[in-house]
Amino acid sequence: MPQSILFVCLGNICRSPLAEGIAKQIANKQGFDIEIDSCGTGSWHVGEAPCVNAIRVANEHGLDISMLRARQVTKLDLEKFELIIAFDDKNIRDLMEMGAKNIQKLGAYGYNSEDVPDPYFFPGYEGFDKVYEMIEVCVTNLLDENS
């Protein structure tokens, strides 16, 4: 089991905070001692809470992510975290350009390496439930495979 996992998406207000919340919940239940965090490759939302629809879908699954705040990935993160999990090919390219070496795609843990789509760009609430399901399956598999 890696000692630390960093989930990285684009803005850190939808996918990665959902993954962070799900992973922390699973780790708590399983008694894993692991550092889990999330961030984004972009700086647009730094300091903001997860978007309303991410908070809503998390709440519908008994998870409160409203206290999380968006931040941008740093070089220190790339050195500190043992495993870096990206949500799509663009996230991977951006992280590689920063020098990240230990990157894996979340979709490799249950969705044939598919991108986890960014629901922020969907109209309204549409898609958040599907994205939540994808993230939950993949995060569960990731933690199971590495335990």
Residues with active-site annotation = 9, 15, 118
**35 vs 10: CA distance, rounded Å:** 21
- Our measurement of the distance from residue 117's CA atom to the centroid of its chain's CA atoms, rounded to an integer in Å, reads 12
Backbone angles phi, psi at 76, to 5 degrees: -60, -40
**108 vs 40: CA distance, rounded Å:** 19
SS3 8: strand
**123 vs 126: CA distance, rounded Å:** 6
* Helical pair 128-145 and 15-30, crossing angle rounded to 10 deg: 40
